[in-house]
């Protein structure tokens, strides 16, 4: 069985003391591929170090997280752009709009998203979208540019059935993580109307830890429990879900083939 964690922040300080064991546990659970979205200019070196340390397992993405966007975001994007010119990345991201933490910077966040969206199209890379409390705002920008040259994923998707339908029609997959295992999540009903060909699995570790480990640090090996819940929803085996969602990830992040 081969699983793929399409969104994990393994380079964060949460993993400094035991990263070798974290990656080893992931491999033991069948998680061969771990995709790491960048946050800001401070996270790049750690992310690239892990890429070099675990080649064939850890794959970097390059972008500027919306929570790191301020009035001087153009300086940070200049650094991101320089990295895109000198190294290979699996995607642009994560980028998007976050209205949960702050609404004051939404104008700058929208501008930064639009710039990174253009890069994704120009470089033929998928776009990893962060849309916390902001699906409509992100979708408005994405839909204006949707065509055969734009693809990606709505990371940590938490929208309703109509939003899921629109995201898929715009050429995007839905990133499903530990939230799907939470007791009162509404996402189960949403996924019942989404074909599994449009789903990829992610942990967003060290955050959003799935049951039965909720409340602890999340890690890539726990994607097994997400796959287990998705298998229950679709009346499939965990092995079938692993195969299909890994195939979906390979099709989206075709730069690793």
Inter-axis angle of helices 73-86 and 106-123, nearest 10:
20
- SS3 state at 58: strand
Per-residue confidence at 257, pLDDT binned at 50, 70, 90? low
Task: Grade residue 61 by pLDDT with cuts at 50, 70 and 90.
Answer: very high
CA 135/CA 99 separation, integer angstroms: 10
Quote the pLDDT of residue 172.
98
Among 93, 14, 95, 19, smallest CA distance to 52 is for 19
% of the chain residues with pLDDT over 70: 99
pLDDT in tens, 31-51: 999 999 999 999 999 999 999
**Mean pLDDT for the stretch of residues 144-154:** 95
Average pLDDT over residues 167-172: 97
Q: Residue for token digits 């693809």?
A: 151
Structural domain including 132 reads 3-256
Structure letter (DSSP) for residue 209: P
What's the CATH number where 92 sits?
3.20.20.140
Instruction: Say what the pTM is.
Output: 0.97
Average pLDDT in the chain: 96
Q: What is the mean pLDDT of residues 176-193?
A: 96
Structure tokens at 107: 């104008």
Token representation of residue 252: 């989206």
pLDDT beyond 80 at 95: yes
Indicate if the pLDDT at residue 101 is higher than 90.
no
* 81: pLDDT strictly greater than 80: yes
Provide CB contacts within 8 A for 191, sequence distance 6+: 164, 176, 180, 199, 230, 233, 234
Residue 245: burial class (beta carbons within 10 Å; 0-12, 13-18, 19+) = buried
Region label for 218, one of left (φ > 0), alpha (ψ between -120 and 50) or beta (otherwise): beta
Cβ atoms 220, 236 nearer than 8 A: no
Cα 196–chain centre separation: 17
What is the rounded CA–CA span in Å between residue 150 and residue 214?
Answer: 35
Given this model, what pLDDT does residue 189 score?
96
pLDDT of residue 104: 86
Residue 24 scores a pLDDT above 80: yes
Coil vs helix vs strand at 170: coil
255 band by pLDDT with thresholds 50, 70 and 90: low
Q: What is the pLDDT of residue 129?
A: 98
- How many domains is the chain built from? 1
Write out the DSSP string of 4-46: EES-B-TTSGGGTTTHHHHHHHHHHTTEEEEEE---STTTHHH
Q: How confident is the model at residue 256 (pLDDT cuts 50, 70, 90)?
A: low
């Amino acid at each position: 069985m081969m699983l793929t964690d399409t969104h994990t922040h393994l380079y964060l300080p949460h993993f400094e003391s035991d990263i070798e064991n974290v990656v080893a546990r992931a491999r033991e659970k069948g998680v061969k591929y771990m995709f790491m979205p960048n946050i800001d200019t401070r996270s790049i070196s750690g992310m690239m170090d892990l890429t070099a340390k675990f080649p064939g397992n850890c794959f970097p993405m390059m972008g500027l997280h919306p929570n790191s966007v301020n009035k001087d975001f153009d300086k940070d994007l200049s650094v991101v752009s320089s990295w895109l010119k000198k190294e290979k990345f699996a995607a642009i991201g994560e980028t998007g709009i976050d209205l949960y933490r702050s609404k004051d910077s939404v104008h700058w966040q929208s501008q930064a998203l639009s710039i990174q969206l253009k890069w994704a199209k120009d470089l033929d890379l998928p776009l990893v979208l962060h849309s916390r409390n902001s699906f409509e705002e992100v979708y408005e920008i994405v839909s204006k540019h949707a065509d055969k040259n734009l693809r990606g994923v709505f990371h940590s998707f938490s929208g309703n059935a109509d939003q899921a339908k629109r995201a898929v029609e715009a050429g995007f997959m839905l990133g499903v993580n530990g939230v799907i295992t939470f007791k009162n999540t509404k996402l189960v009903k949403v996924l019942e109307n989404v074909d599994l060909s449009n789903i990829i699995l992610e942990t967003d570790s060290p955050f959003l830890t799935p049951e039965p480990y909720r409340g602890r640090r999340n890690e890539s090996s726990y994607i097994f429990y997400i796959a287990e819940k998705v298998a229950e929803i679709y009346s499939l085996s965990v092995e079938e879900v692993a195969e299909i969602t890994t195939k979906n990830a390979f099709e989206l992040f075709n730069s690793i083939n």
